[in-house]
Chains A and B, each alone.
Chain A
Amino acid sequence: MIEISHVNKWYSPTFQVLTDCTTSVTKGEVVVVCGPSGSGKSTLIKCVNALEPFQSGDISVDGTKVNDPKTNLPKLRSRVGMVFQHFELFPHLKIIDNLCLAQQKVLGRSHDKAETKGMQLLERVGLKEHAQKFPAQLSGGQQQRVAIARALAMDPIVMLFDEPTSALDPEMVSEVLDVMVDLAREGMTMMVVTHEMGFARKVANRVIFMDRGEIVEDAPKDDFFGKPRSDRAQKFLSKILSH
């Protein structure tokens, strides 16, 4: 579903953020990307839907090359759901309109159809009664669940999560993870940048560990948690699992 091969990205000639990254996500797979901050994991996931450009290598999603200038990026992105660290709901639109906007403007659905779909998804994330509110009237956890619903409204073939719980208060993390776990169990293809190792243990098929712009480890979940091969991954795990 997602093929990433030999991707390199520089912010400036001397500052390389991604070095020869190669991995893939197959249909129905849940891949968790972890690593210390500044390791390039967010940058990598943003390269997948071309929100970040990269200088060399190839990424393709469902057979479409992301870095081909001829690719219709808006069309490709409409099939790739993305959830951001800071939710990025549109603050001037009601919750339901946040869900309807792209359905109508990008997919050309009628308002009624978009609204029906939007309400179904809000019900699914448990926020149906908040449809007429504005984003700022919701808690962080609720906003992030709306953001997930907004991405799902586009019927994506794959979902990208960029640290979906790191901006949340601790007590709101689980409500967002629950939605994501359900999604994973329904067979959604997911690439998730997160530090939530509990989530990784529960639903991930594979775990990718990144450090300083490189993919250091790319292993099935049980291997990763059982016996990480690299020192750096071991150190990272001991740090975040010791508490």
Chain B
Amino acid sequence: MLSNFDFDVIRRALPYLFYEGMTFTLTLTALAALGGLIFGTALALMRLSGYKLLGRIAGLYVDFMRSLPLVLVIFWFYFLVPYIGQWVTGASRPISVGAFASSLITFIMFEAAYFSEIMRAGIQSISRGQPAAASALGLTYAQSMRYVVLPQAFRNMLPVLITQTIVLFQDTSLVYVLSITDFLGAASKVAQRDGRLVEMYLFAAVVYFTISCIASFGVRRLQARIAIIR
């Protein structure tokens, strides 16, 4: 099999794979992680707030998102949103959203559900005695959150948040269902065009593996550095 393995195909495709494909993949990962973090924090705070209704809404949302396959949501969202847009704005034709915007929104919504659970667990992992001790010293609720609870919660959840982002980085390849040229999509296109499936898919696997592995290693180093001595 490897006797006619053509490395040159990969070499020639490199600019296309990285400038077009990887740029898209990393942009989508970064934006989705950022959006997911913001939306996820809001969800976590809703669930932790004393208001039952808010918590219930956030809980339902999280359960809903986690009960659906991501690829289905991506697909579904892409074809449905134009019609929802049409219905909301009362336009005569479906609103075109574009593949990038559509997939970005999908990932943000999906990741927010996971991020919010990580953050909720992180905040809840702090024993109730800690905010009590902070209050007993005269710190206000906001101060006790800022100086006592969140610094500890953040250390607990940062490694898991980054690990989830690594998973997100791999999951972005699912946008292939919308025929978007992300890294895997680019590799796939070259593979089809040149009839070099083995080379291109192997190379794509190696790249995903290398990046994820290095990032995971980084997380472990980080974890050791920021851990609270217990």
Please determine whether B135 and A77 come into contact, CB atoms closer than 8 angstroms.
yes
Q: CA–CA, A134 to B133, complex, Å?
A: 17
A51/B132 in contact, CB under 8 A: yes
B138 part of interface (Cβ distance < 8 Å): yes
Across the interface, do B138 and A91 meet the contact criterion of CB distance under 8 Å? no
How far is B140's CA from A207's CA once the two chains are assembled, in angstroms?
33
Inter-chain contacts of A105 with B (CB < 8 A): 139, 143, 147
The answer to whether A49 touches B136 (Cβ under 8 A) is yes
- Give the residue of A86, A88, A136, A154 whose beta carbon is less than 8 angstroms from that of B138: A154
Give complex CA distance A51, B133 in Å: 9
Which of B133, B137, B140, B147 is most buried by chain A, counting CB atoms within 10 A of its CB?
B137
A residues 83-140 near B (Cβ < 8 Å) are: 84, 86, 88-92, 101-102, 105-107, 134, 136-137
Assembly CA distance A79 to B148 (angstroms)? 20
Give the chain B neighbours of A151 by CB distance below 8 A.
136-137
Asked if B152 and A92 sit within 8 Å, CB to CB, the answer is yes
Question: What residues on B are CB-neighbors of A41 within 8 Å?
Answer: none
Contacts of B130 in A (CB 8 A): 88, 90
CB distance A74 to B133 under 8 Å? Answer: no
Cα distance A101–B230 when bound, in Å? 20
Interface residues on chain A, size class: 20 to 34
Q: A66-86 CB contact bits vs B (8 Å, 1 = yes)?
A: 000000011101111110101
Minimum distance in angstroms from A187 CB to a CB of chain B: 22
Q: How far is the CA of A170 from the CA of B138 in the complex (A)?
A: 31
Q: By the criterion CB–CB under 8 Å, are A102 and B152 in contact?
A: no
A84, B128: Cα distance in complex, Å: 12
Most buried by A among B133, B138, B228: B138
Residue B189 at the chain A interface, CB threshold 8 Å: no
Chain A residues within 8 Å of B, Cβ to Cβ: 49, 51, 73-75, 77-82, 84, 86, 88-92, 101-102, 105-107, 134, 136-137, 150-151, 154
26 CB contacts below 8 A, A to B, read A51-B132, A73-B135, A74-B138, A77-B135, A77-B136, A77-B138, A81-B136, A84-B132, A86-B129, A88-B133, A90-B133, A90-B152, A92-B152, A92-B155, A92-B228, A101-B147, A102-B134, A102-B138, A105-B147, A106-B137, A106-B138, A106-B139, A136-B228, A151-B136, A154-B137, A154-B138
